[in-house]
Structure 1
Amino acid sequence: MKPLVVLVGATASGKTGLSVELAQRLDGEVINGDSMQLYRGMDIGTAKITADETQGVPHHLFDILEVTEEASVVQYQALARQTIAAIRERGKTPILVGGSGLYLRAATDVIEFPPTDPGLRAQIEAELESEGTAVLREQLREADPESAAVIKDARRLVRALEVVRLTGRTFTSFLPQRNHLPSLEPVLQLGMKIERSLLHERIADRVHQMHSTGLLEEVRRLDAAGLRKGRTASAAIGYQQFLRVIDGVLTEEQAVEETIIATRKFARRQETWFRADARITWLDTACEQLIDQALEAVRG
């Protein structure tokens, strides 16, 4: 069976271009592993690959959600595995590409996701509204001190309490442990290693280009389509900043700078996540023979 090639790394590290080259050389098809690129219409702000840039290589799991919908890692897991199987049935090489660490792990590793109960979640959200964050955080601290110590935002607090009340287990017990889970597939993971100052430069250039090519207009269109109703999509970097431009809170220049800063912080979190996985073979993005490096790793 052909291996599933997984190409990971920080945003703006060069994954998209290399994935197309790999697909051309390996007779492959590309699968999206970026949670924000699942959304239809979120093109400029997510640096989504264009039709011309695909160079005829089939791409999958892009533009499958409306901005009002919630992205679900459980749903993505099923879709990604179905797509991988279908590509292999065609005799092609599946190439999974992205920077959303948990989504990528969901596609490849044995991960148990906790169940959900919309009614229970609504009840906890009502408690949050009436009793406040401190009360719910204390409840979580008593039931799951490890999760309580690291969860900062109200949304994850509600989710952790939902899991505790629904299953009797801690939210932490469902979290995947790196390097110890068997993969469901023959997998080769390749990582994009890039020098920090170069990455920062690329991020700044990319955000300025997004602005100049119409990010504000894209956000306006999506706002009219209900972007603010989608909790996941509206929180995406770049989109949340330019919604504040529409609201008159930020200038366009301020939104650009805040987006650059937020993207750099996000890239550091991505690097931390991926570096912790010893299964990844790292590629030097500064190498002129980058594609040859990648092909050697695949053939090896």
Structure 2
Amino acid sequence: MSRRVVDCTKVLRHGAADAFAALEFERPGQPRTLTHRIEMDADVGTHVLAPRRYVRWGSDLSGLAPESFFGEGLVAHLEVTADASDIDSSRLEDAFGRSLQNRDIVVIAARGEGVTPSFTAQAAQWLFVRGAKLVALADGISVGRDKEPDDERVILSTLLENDVPIVRGLVNTETLSAERMAFMALPAPAADVTAWPVRFVALDPGLDPTQQALEVEAAADQEGEAEPPPAESVDQTADAQPDELAESASEPSDSDASADRDTEDSLPEPDVDEGSAAEPSPEDDQDEEDLSKRSAEA
């Protein structure tokens, strides 16, 4: 089965954010060879949070097994509004139902016009109970209430305390299908470090939903631009000149000639008088001869 490789990772650029700087230089004795010194925050770009983030006894990046960052799972595409911006357990239940399996990777993508989706404690608890081994949140999803930093710590600790790493800052999630797919998000095994940028990649067997939407729009546009049906043909006799009409009226048409032939064929043949048309018989000749003799004797 062919799969699309979808990169859900933010690109890190020097100077694009204060949290990331790539200092370029040449090493002494290695002319025309570029290298870089990176200065960054550990949670820059698309990054993973290790359990030690909020729990001192939790695992750091080097203590998490590689299989925690690779496996199959599902994507939840959620629509949020100003009146319903929370991502809670009921929203996840509706999105996944019975499709979610134990030890799945879960990607949560939410969108809403002018609305910031909020990942809640109920959602974190629901994912832990359902056995998610890694939870990834799309860029733009906040954790807890705005301007309440304790909410983030309390909510994410539900997962991190149980060695469930969390990836934040995914992009291109709108191109992921609803099919079951494989994910990979391997960080560097940095000891004693609680966060690190990752390259989050999905191997998607389904079609790109955004491409399907464009194809539907293109098909609708083509139907709208289709040529109108041909107009009804105009009676050509209406445009004919008077002389042409008179000439056509004086000339017998094929239908008139055919009607005359049918009339002639239908007339009955005249009866023939068989007696008058018959030749005289020998008996008649003898009678006439006898009559002539008797007249002479008289």
Q: Which of the five TM-score ranges fits, normalised by the shorter chain? A: under 0.3
Larger Rg belongs to: 2
Query: When the two structures are superposed, what TM-score results if normalisation uses the length of structure 2?
Result: 0.20
Query: When the two structures are superposed, what TM-score results if normalisation uses the length of structure 1?
Result: 0.20
**Richer in helix (by share):** 1
Task: Considering Cα pairs closer than 8 Å and 6+ residues apart, tell me whether 1 or 2 has the greater RCO.
Answer: 1
**Richer in strand (by share):** 2
